[in-house]
Amino acid sequence: MGTHELKFKKGVVWINIDRLRVFSEDEKVYIEGDFIAYFSFKPPDILLGELIKDNTGRPYTWPNAKDALNYAKEKFKNLLN
């Protein structure tokens, strides 16, 4: 998790990976879910960036942070190399 800087021939993109957490009213605890990824073409500050989404506008989710980062590397490699 956290922020990752990916450098390519045509630019740099920052990827921020976070984990979804849902509050269970029954159990009174947060349940950890899948991972989501944000991207930004400028260094991140307080804002995380824009969610990586599919063609319908739904955010992609991954079972682990490594898969999310690998997806982002491939996606932006195709755009920025």
The answer to whether 61 and 34 are in contact (CB under 8 A) is: yes
Q: What is the pLDDT of residue 2?
A: 84
Residue 31 has pLDDT above 80, yes or no: yes
> What does pLDDT average to over the chain?
92
Global confidence as pTM: 0.84
Cα separation, 74 vs 43, in Å, equals 20
Residue 48 has pLDDT above 90, yes or no: no
The answer to whether 48 and 38 are in contact (CB under 8 A) is: yes
Q: What is the pLDDT of residues 55-75, one digit of tens each?
A: 999 999 999 999 999 999 999
Q: What is the pLDDT of residue 19?
A: 94
Nearest C-alpha neighbor of 6 from the set 72, 78, 60, 65? 72
Cα separation, 26 vs 15, in Å, equals 34
